């Protein structure tokens, strides 16, 4: 009985060697196609092509063994990109769909003008951004994003703003495109801005150019 089991095990062992050898030969002879086509959409034509060229420089192997972290690092380093998705299209193509970040405002950083993106990144000012508000002062980007959220939730539109002034006390002033200056406290809320918006709807703005909202529940006007 023991000899029969030993013979069976020996037969199975040789069969395993034969099958493994056959598979190894097949794998050696099998050639996977390399990535031949890269599609990028979501940015302008020039920016899309730039990303395609950068990905090609990674010398990607076949589509089954792509190192996604390399592509992720490359795309994440682009300040124009808010979100993206990578799709494999077999047998030899990849597609990348990009959502471009929204431009919020312009700011001086280390004596250079940058655009702040909604993704929280600074973008070189190489675009047509003359309609964006300019920020005076040195706020952290997250402070800008937080304040924009307050404005967006109010009855004001960010498009109405000509410039923003940030102070070391972490309060903001807003200069509207109609030359009205709103002076805010460092704890102003959506309700504060709505109060100012309602006031502007009711009164002739020609009689004043400054609305001081720094004292709670009060509006002080200055010519």
pLDDT, averaged per 10 consecutive residues of the chain (223 residues), comes to 51 52 46 78 94 87 76 92 90 91 95 95 86 96 96 95 96 96 95 94 82 90 78
Domain identity same for 110 and 125:
yes
Under DSSP, is residue 27 helix (H, G, I), strand (E, B) or coil? helix
Crossing angle of helices 190-202 and 141-153, in 10° steps, is 50
Residue 155 lies in a domain: yes
Question: For position 169, what pLDDT does the model report?
Answer: 94
The closest of 38, 43, 82, 44 to 58, measured between CA atoms, is 38
Residue 16 lies in a domain: no
Residue 93 lies in a domain: yes
The closest of 198, 214, 194 to 153, measured between CA atoms, is 194
Which tokens go with 96? 């990348």
Domain identity same for 159 and 143:
yes
Domain identity same for 84 and 149:
no
Percent helix, strand and coil across the chain, each rounded to 5? 40, 30, 35
Alpha helices in the chain (DSSP H): 2-29, 45-56, 68-76, 141-153, 190-202
Residue 90 lies in a domain: yes
Question: For position 30, what pLDDT does the model report?
Answer: 44
- From residue 12, alpha-carbon distances to 7, 9, 49, 162 in Å are 9, 5, 56, 81
- Choose one of 100, 117, 137: the last residue of a domain: 100
Residue 196 lies in a domain: yes
- Choose one of 63, 82, 100: the last residue of a domain: 100
Question: For position 16, what pLDDT does the model report?
Answer: 55
Domain identity same for 109 and 216:
yes
Question: Domains in the chain: how many in total?
Answer: 2
| C-alpha to C-alpha distance for 119 and 99, rounded to whole angstroms | 11
∠ Cα 182 200 163 (to 5°): 35
Residue 12 lies in a domain: no
> For the range 9-13, what are the long-range contacts, defined as Cβ-Cβ under 8 Å and sequence gap of 24 or more?
none
Question: For position 42, what pLDDT does the model report?
Answer: 95
Domain identity same for 217 and 108:
yes
Q: Report the chain's C-alpha Rg in angstroms.
A: 30
Domain identity same for 128 and 74:
no
Domain identity same for 188 and 152:
yes
Domain identity same for 96 and 117:
no
What is the domain extent for residue 65? 37-100
Domain identity same for 65 and 143:
no
């Amino acid at each position: 009985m023991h000899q029969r089991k030993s013979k069976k095990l020996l037969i199975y062992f040789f069969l395993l060697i034969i099958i493994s050898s056959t598979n190894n030969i097949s794998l050696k002879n099998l050639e996977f196609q390399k990535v031949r086509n890269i599609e990028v959409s979501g940015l302008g034509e020039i920016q899309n092509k730039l990303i395609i060229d950068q990905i090609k420089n990674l010398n990607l192997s076949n589509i089954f063994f792509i190192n996604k972290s390399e592509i992720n690092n490359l795309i994440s380093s682009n300040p124009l990109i808010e979100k993206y998705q990578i799709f494999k299209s077999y047998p030899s193509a990849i597609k990348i769909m990009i959502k471009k970040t929204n431009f919020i405002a312009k700011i001086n950083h280390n004596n250079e003008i940058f655009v702040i993106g909604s993704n929280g990144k600074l973008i070189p000012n190489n675009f047509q951004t003359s309609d964006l508000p300019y920020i005076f002062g040195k706020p952290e980007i997250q402070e800008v994003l937080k304040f924009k959220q307050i404005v967006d939730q109010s009855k004001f539109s960010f498009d109405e703003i000509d410039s923003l002034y940030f102070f070391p006390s972490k309060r903001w002033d807003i200069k509207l495109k109609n030359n009205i200056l709103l002076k805010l406290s460092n704890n102003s809320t959506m309700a504060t801005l709505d109060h100012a918006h309602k006031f502007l709807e009711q009164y002739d703005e020609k009689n004043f150019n400054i609305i001081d909202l720094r004292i709670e529940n009060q509006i002080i006007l200055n010519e």
